[in-house]
Chain A
Amino acid sequence: MKHHVKLRKPLVKQLKKGNVKGTIVQSQPIWVRIFHWGFATSLIVVILTGLQLHKPASFLALNFSKVLTAHLVFGWFSMGFLAIRIADALIRRDDSLIPKIQDLKHFPQLMAYYFFLRSSPPPARKYNSGQLLIYFSWFLLFLLASFLGLTSYWQGEHLIWVWRLIGGFQVLRWTKFIITIYFLATIPVHIYLSLTEDISRLQAMVTGYERKPSPNNR
């Protein structure tokens, strides 16, 4: 039997909620989502073009000045998205991305979980200690890489002290390359774990809402 009853909106919402195990909570505000996807796309372009600048793949036969331009433009984009996230964190007084001693104390247990020595991960704030370490290292290394990028972009017009400090152009590019390798090694881990650990948190990065399982369902 089909109902064609028109239900009022609040009721529909209530219904939907009742339909789901656990509770629906908002976990990712709109600016966080904008930052995440904007930054992810820009950074991937930055990294791929960076690798191309490092060692051009002849078979691609890309126009190289355009590769450099893309690297720079998306470099600026990703810095812009990061700036949005920083502003957002300041406005909301959000410290969910800053690792604290309390978080790191759980790190051994978390590793035990990842190595199948425990059946469930230890309790955590919004992000667990592993996530915090990766995100925070990304934050720092991104800033460092961008800073070095700007230094080479200005070719010694500005930031001369950075040239001297780091010991020349080769070391600068080398450092950026190593940072790129770090990104390339950790991004797949990030994607893998977000797909397999808690898929509703991935959903939250799209819709903003996440389903917290009810306690008896764990």
Chain B
Amino acid sequence: MLSRRDFLKLVVKGAVLGNFYQLISPPLAEAVAAGEVKKLPVVMIETGTCTGDSISLDNIWTPTFSDILTNITDWRYDWTMMQAQGDAAYQVLQETYEKMPNEYILIVQGSMIQRDGGHYNHVAYENGKLVTGLELVRRLGLKAKYVVAIGHCATYGGPVAGYPNPTQSTGVQNILPERRVINVSGCPAHPDWIMGTLLHLALYGEPELEKYGRPKLFYGETIHNRCPRRRYYDQGIFATEIGQKECLFRVGCKGPVTYADCPIRRWNDHINWPIGCNTPCIGCTEPGYPDLMSPFTVHLPDIPFPGGTKVNTDAIGLGVLGLTSIAITGHVATSLYKGRIQKNLLRTSVKAQHRPAVKKVKTFHQYRLKKT
């Protein structure tokens, strides 16, 4: 079987060449066929989501997504992919929950909607009762072998939790403090990040996680550190408009504050990525996105004020400095008018008028030996 070392190498190599699955699936399928690894039972719950991560996952090109679903994983419950519906489908989920505790992987897509007991988000109908996403995720999460949150909504709340967050949405980790949630963030998450994490779970268990619970193998380095335009940044050559070919820092690139491997992995089967087509990274993998990352074209987030207005940070800075200069100018003028400055300067600098007199108190005579 593939060693973990080789696997990690393939993760990078596959990113650079854009054929991660081509590289990874033959040894993996062999291992599954030889019974060295069990197929991963996976269930996916969608809560407050746009299903973007499913669409992104579907972007796995070679081999096709269905190959992975059937040969390498045991994809049991997933609204977007499953063909059964209604009770028949839900039965599978129940079975997995009851018969495979500590075996299945729970994938959550979408934010946890907490307002009014979670009743703005129903995900199932059970014995004549609506089940909230909050409840189902907690129930399944407590018995899952691993809990994987995919996409920014499930990891840190995402756009659903954006200001002013009327539904009080949040990420899975916050409602499941008992478990360590593996955060595969991104808006959407890259198919390689999702599938790579799942494969790592199947083959070697939990991957090493970084400070916000994301697998280090994909989120270990900032965009900025591996950006092909880094040399422009280092030399201070900046694009002044979106669409130019220099470093996009001045037009709001969040690469310096964002951890992901997009510069080498790229998107849509390695075709391109934002900076490759001259638009800034918007920081979609970081906690706080989108509020902390928007406006996408400036560097720092706007400051929300009560009442719903937002003010640009730079404007506040300039405003404060403007007020200070006005205040000082006003004070100088008043002080001059009132004579305070003149008085202070005289009081603290002028020497006394009188000249001290010296009187001779003693005369010293110096005696020296005569030369003979």
A21: B residues at CB distance < 8 A: 350-352
Known A-B contacts A20-B351, A58-B250; A196 and B300 likewise in contact (beta carbons under 8 Å)? no
> Contact: B347 with A218, CB < 8 Å?
yes
Residues in chain B within 8 A of chain A (CB atoms): 210-212, 222, 233-238, 240, 249-250, 254, 256-258, 283, 286-288, 292-293, 299-301, 313-314, 316-317, 320-321, 323-325, 327-328, 331-332, 334-335, 338, 340-341, 344-345, 347-352, 355-356, 358
Write out the residue numbers on chain A whose beta carbons fall within 8 Å of the beta carbon of B347: 213, 217-218
The contact of A63 among B212, B236, B292, B320, by CB within 8 Å, is B236
Q: Does A70 contact B (CB under 8 A)?
A: no
Q: Does A181 contact B (CB under 8 A)?
A: yes
**How far apart are the CA atoms of A180 and B314 in the complex, in Å?**
12
Complex contact B324–A189 (CB within 8 A) = yes
A61 CA / B232 CA spacing, docked (Å): 11
List 12 A-B residue pairs with CB atoms under 8 Å apart, sorted by A's residue number.
A21-B351, A169-B257, A170-B283, A170-B301, A171-B288, A178-B317, A181-B316, A185-B320, A186-B324, A196-B335, A213-B347, A218-B347
CB-based contact A58/B344 at 8 Å: no
Q: Which of A18, A56, A186 contacts B249 (CB 8 A)?
A: A56
Instruction: Find out whether the CB atom of A156 lies under 8 angstroms from the CB atom of B211.
Output: yes
A29 within 8 A of B: no
Given the known inter-chain contacts A15-B358, A58-B250, A197-B344, please indicate yes or no for A192 contacting B320, CB distance below 8 A: no
- Chain B residues contacting A19 (CB-CB under 8 Å) are 351-352, 355-356
A218 and B331 CA atoms in complex are apart in Å by: 22
Pick from B293, B323, B327: contact of A170, CB below 8 A.
B293
Checking B238, B293, B317, B349 against A200 with a beta-carbon cut-off of 8 angstroms, the contacting residue is B349
Known: A15-B358, A56-B238, A56-B250. A200 touches B211 (CB 8 A): no
* A199–B348 touching, CB < 8 Å: yes
A170–B257 CB distance below 8 A: yes
Q: In the complex, what residues of B have CB within 8 A of residue A62's CB? A: 236
**Smallest CB-CB A-B distances: 3 pairs:** A169-B257, A170-B292, A65-B234
Q: Which B residues lie within 8 Å of A218 (CB)?
A: 347
In the bound assembly, the distance between CA atoms of A144 and B241 in angstroms comes to: 34
Residues in B with CB closer than 8 Å to A20 are 351-352
Chain A positions within 8 Å of B237 at CB level: 61
Interface positions, chain A 100-118, Cβ under 8 Å from B, are: 114, 116
CA gap between A218 and B313 in the complex, in Å: 46
- For the complex, what is the distance from the CA of A54 to the CA of B257, rounded to whole Å? 12
Query: What is the CB-to-nearest-CB distance from A66 to chain B, in angstroms, rounded to a whole number?
Result: 9
Q: Mark A154-167, 1 if CB is under 8 A from B, else 0.
A: 01100010011001
Tell me the bound Cα distance from A211 to B349 in angstroms: 8
Q: Are A170 and B300 in contact (CB under 8 A)?
A: yes
Nearest A residue to B231 via CB reads: A65
A100 and B240 CA atoms in complex are apart in Å by 50
A-chain residues with CB within 8 Å of residue B334 when the two chains form the complex: 116
CB distance from A119 to the nearest CB of B (A): 9
- B76, chain A: closest CB distance, angstroms: 34
